[in-house]
Amino acid sequence: MDREDFELLQQWVEGERRAGDRLVKRYHKGIARFFMNAVGDQERRDLTNETFMRLCSARHRFSGRSSFRSFLYGIARNVLNEFLRQKYRDGEFDPQLHTIEDTGQLSISRLISELVRKEVAMKCLRELPVETKQMMELYYWHDMTADELGQMYGVPAATVRTRLHSARKQLQKMIAKHQPDISSLDIDQQLETLRRLLGFGPQKMDEQAGE
């Protein structure tokens, strides 16, 4: 993966925008997870976007002496520490000494609010047709690819991707009835959060799904 990441980054530096898009898509969920237990949902989206904006600006400075993952997560670490430093009100923030709770992030009321949002997502998922619910869970939580699901359901992989895309839109509308301010990105984030709460590991990427 490191070699492929390096090649994509080199292509991006040379002006190939699609290579940059592939890198962002590959690591977007991982970076969002990095911020998950430190800030709320809105801040996580903002900090994730800020990380990739800084990556775009700094991509020419990557020397190759570390892995691309180390480079990218180093940017995310700096973004988070700067954010927490701005929120800390009792002197100078030291990430080696102070905690997330010291900064006032993720208060009990905010945690309860986010847990309620996750329960809404679970409820809406249960209200999908059984086969649609199963396909979503197998893809998002059990790492089955579109090809594998196609073999299981006896349909082409392209049909699986279409069904997943339609299911995401349907779930989006259902959740939006309870949370009108939700964005399209929230579906992936909430499914990933539910995956973590249910004890599954990080999701493997199937880059063609849902397009």
- CB-CB contact of 55 with 26 (8 Å): no
Is the per-residue pLDDT at 107 higher than 60?
no
The pTM (predicted TM-score) of the whole model is 0.51
pLDDT digits (tens, 9 = 90+) for 33-60: 888 777 877 888 899 999 999 988 888 8
Is the per-residue pLDDT at 211 higher than 60?
no
Reference 179, options 108, 106, 112, 116; nearest CA is: 116
Mean pLDDT to the nearest integer, 13-19: 85
Q: Mind listing the domains of the chain with CATH numbers?
A: 2-103 (1.10.1740.10), 108-197 (1.10.10.10)
Is the per-residue pLDDT at 177 higher than 60?
yes
